[in-house]
Amino acid sequence: QVQLVESGGGSVQSGGSLRLSCVASEDISSSYCFSWFRRQSPGQVREWVASSNRGGVRSYADSVKGRFTISQDNAVNTLYLQMNGLKPEDTAMYYCAAGTKWYSSGYCAGTYWGQGTQVTVSS
C-alpha cells in the first residue's frame, strides 16, 4: 500500500501563503486519485478540501475555491496544496489521502492517509 508523508505546515498571518507537500512511497501517475482534508480540532470530523484525479480534473470545497490549488508532480511522486489568502478559519491539521475511487461529483475517497501537517493562521 502507498505511504504518504505531509510537510510544509506552519504558522502564518492572515493573508499569507503556504504550500503543503505530500510525498508518496510509489509511482502516483496512474493508479490513484488524491484529496486533501483538514480537521480543525481533534474531536471534529475531517473536512474535505480538494481532490484531483489522473485525468487532471480538480475540485474544491467552496470555502477554499479561488484560494487553494491542488497539483501533483509525478516525477517526484508528490502532491501539493498551494494555499493563498489564508484566513484564521483555515487553521487545522491538513491530511493528504490517496484512493482508487473517483466520484463524478469530483471527489476522491481516501483509502491511504498521511499523518497530517499543522497549519495555524493568526489574525
Q: Mean pLDDT by 10-residue block, N- to C-terminus, for the chain (123 residues)? A: 96 98 90 95 94 94 98 94 98 96 92 96 97
How many residues does the structure list for the chain?
A: 123
pLDDT value at position 30? Answer: 78
Look up residue 68 and give its three cell numbers. Answer: 487553494
pLDDT value at position 89? Answer: 97
Q: What angle do CA 17, 21, 23 make, to 5 degrees?
A: 175
pLDDT value at position 16? Answer: 98
pLDDT value at position 71? Answer: 96
Alpha carbon distances (Å) from 89 to 8, 23, 99, 105: 18, 26, 27, 25
Distance (Å, whole) CA 69 – CA 78: 14
Distance (Å, whole) CA 118 – CA 58: 23
